[in-house]
Amino acid sequence: MVAAGGRISGFAMSDVRMKGFARRSTVAQALAWLDSHLRPLPEQTVPLAQAYGRVLARPIVSDVNVPGFTRAMMDGYAIRASDVQGAGPYSRLTLRVIGCSLPGRPFAGTVQSGTAVRIMTGAPLPAGADAVLPAELTECSGERVEAVGDVGPGKHVGKIGEDIVAGQQVLPAGRMLRPQDVGLLSSIGVAEVPVVRSPRVRIVITGNELLPAGARPEGYRIVDANGPMLQALVARDGGVPELIGPLSDQPEIILDAMRGPADVVLVSGGSSVGEEDCAPLLVRQHGQLAIHGIAMRPSSPTGMGLLDGRLVLLLPGNPVSCLCAYDFFAGRAIRAMGGRTTNWPYRRVRLPLARKIVSAIGSTDYHRVRLVDGSVQPLAVSGASILSSTTRADGFVIVPEDCEGFPPGAEVEVLLYDDLQAASV
């Protein structure tokens, strides 16, 4: 570190910033610190209609049988199996049709020997019957039905609890609920679902040069890209974003903003080590700045720590760095707090490189790439300020810190930005 003592005030801090970080943490060290501070949030209860995509805080045990009654599994006739034994196309047996059982509208009487009740799939099996003779094995004419085949006892009958037995765990804690899970919960009478609370994520945008999203860029002022991008990323990862700013780079304003209601705070901009970079100093002064400066490209001016006991992540203001630092650290934290996996939320493909990727030993690199004709093309533009490099890219390749890069033709893993539902354009 360049010693700052004895220099003219107003330049000294900047010199420190400009010469960079004295010592950078590795990505692995930063992740280790982060992971040691991640716990799923406490449980909350949501109505069933809002449960899709949420994570179960507890296992769900059914207190009912599904179905709760014996039911027909095919359309046909509820009969006594012994009545139709030996029936066939050339030895027809005739039964008297005494009624009908429909779903929710059971037949009230009893099937006696020699009688049958017309029954629909899902309808309650009437008393006295022990099987369903499928319609395909009958010929019906008004109040009589002829069996042209036979079935054994229990055939085409759905038993009580065949879908779910009372007392059975139907879904485990930690399950991210799928559409059919929500249907299943409905079928066992669950109205409110215990889920991991969604993290409230306070997004604090700082920078004197920034205009708020929705404004037009003007003169030397640029429009905040990180706020809207982070709102979308947080929503993707199951958090509830609240956007604050853009704020000017004044310590008291930024400190106030960092202390608002939240489970985790993301600060974008002013994350480095200069006089304009308030956030790290504030976290150090008022809390704990655990990690500051990470051996990665872009995003090296990333920090993380605790303020008022809450996790604070300091993300660089350059938009590519901000995206990269979000995905490596902030998204991971938000997903874990919401009970989700910490894995990358991107699909992976392995494909050969069209051109080499060069990386410095000692730095974890995040290379934007395109997929062209089944091969991986690194994007030439690598500036951390060029956001369009991430919109032109199909995904990215991570080069680990102990790796110098990859030669042309090497098969690399690409993490894809695209959504499975995106139409190919």
Peptide bond into 352 cis (omega under 30): no
User: From the list 42, 47, 261, 309, which residue makes contact with a copy of itself (rule: CB under 8 A)?
Assistant: 47
From 97, 127, 354, 379, residue interacting with a copy of itself (rule: CB under 8 A): 97
Q: Which of 287, 330, 58 is nearest to 190 (CA)?
A: 58
**The binder of a copy of itself chosen from 116, 117, 233, 414 (CB under 8 A):** 233
Indicate the residue type of 353: L
Convert residues 241-270 into a mask of x (bound to a copy of itself by CB under 8 A) and - (unbound).
--x---------------------------
Between 8 and 374, name the residue whose CB sits nearer to a copy of itself: 8
Q: Which is nearer to a copy of itself, 102 or 306 (CB)?
A: 102
Residue 5 touches a copy of itself, criterion: CB under 8 A: no
Least spacing, CB of residue 2 vs a copy of itself, in Å? 8
Two structure tokens written together for 395: 């995904």
| Cis amide prior to 298 (ω within 30 degrees) | yes
Choosing from 29, 228, 253, 349, the residue that interacts with a copy of itself (CB under 8 A) is 228
Do the Cβ atoms of 151 and 132 come closer than 8 Å? yes
Q: Does 96 bind a copy of itself (CB under 8 A)?
A: no
Residue whose CB is less far from a copy of itself, 183 or 251: 183
Residues facing 351 on adjacent strands? 412
Residue among 13, 213, 306, 371 that touches a copy of itself (CB under 8 A): 213
Residues in the chain: 425
Q: Which is nearer to a copy of itself, 249 or 307 (CB)?
A: 249
Half-sphere exposure of 127 (CA within 13 A, CB side): 3
For position 238 contacting a copy of itself by CB under 8 A, the verdict is yes
Q: Pinpoint the alpha helices (H) of 287-394.
A: 319-325, 331-337, 388-392
Q: Which residues contact 275 (CB under 8 A, 6 or more apart)?
A: 10, 13, 14, 17
Site for a copy of itself in 275-334 (CB under 8 A): 276, 317-319, 323
Single out the residue of 58, 386, 401, 403 in contact with a copy of itself (rule: CB under 8 A): 386
Among residues 38, 160, 387, 403, which is the contact residue for a copy of itself, using CB under 8 A?
A: 387
Site string for a copy of itself, 166-195 (x = CB under 8 A): ----xxxxxxxxxxxxxxxxxxxx-x----
- Give the pair of three-digit tokens for residue 54: 């949420």
3-class DSSP state of 15: helix
State the chain's maximal CA–CA distance in angstroms. 112
d(CA 417, CA 425): 14
Which CB, 71 or 367, lies closer to a copy of itself? Answer: 71
Scanning residues 328 to 357, which ones bind a copy of itself (CB under 8 A)?
335, 339-341, 343, 345-347
Which DSSP letter does residue 199 get?
A: P
Q: Does 3 bind a copy of itself (CB under 8 A)?
A: no
Stretch that binds a copy of itself, among 30-38, 51-59, 251-259, 278-286 (CB under 8 A): 51-59
Nearest CB to a copy of itself, comparing residues 173 and 403 = 173
- Radius of gyration for the chain, computed over Cα atoms and rounded to the nearest angstrom: 32
Per-residue contact string for residues 54-93; x = within reach of a copy of itself by CB under 8 A: -x--------x-xxxx-x-x-xx-----------------
Helix ranges (H only) for 259-361 are 278-286, 319-325, 331-337
Q: Of 82 and 186, which CB lies nearer to a copy of itself in the complex structure? A: 186
Build a one-symbol-per-residue string for 121-160: x at contacts with a copy of itself by CB under 8 A, - elsewhere. xxxx----------xx-x-xxxx--------------x--
Show Cβ contacts of residue 172 under 8 Å, excluding neighbours closer than 6 positions: 56, 59
94 contacts a copy of itself (rule: CB under 8 A): no
Nearer to a copy of itself, 395 or 405 (CB): 395
Nearest CA among 129, 128, 113 for reference residue 73: 129
Angle at 120 between CA 99 and CA 161, to 5 degrees: 115
Q: Does residue 379 belong to the site contacting a copy of itself (CB under 8 A)?
A: no
86 or 179: whose CB is closer to a copy of itself?
179
Residue 102: beta bridge partners?
A: 105
CB of 352 to a copy of itself, least distance (A): 20
For residue 354, count other CB atoms closer than 10 A to its CB. 17
Task: Report in angstroms how near the CB of residue 156 gets to a copy of itself at its nearest.
Answer: 10
Helical residues (DSSP H) of 103-194, grouped into ranges: 179-187
Percentages helix, strand, coil for the chain (3-state, rounded to 5) are 20, 35, 45
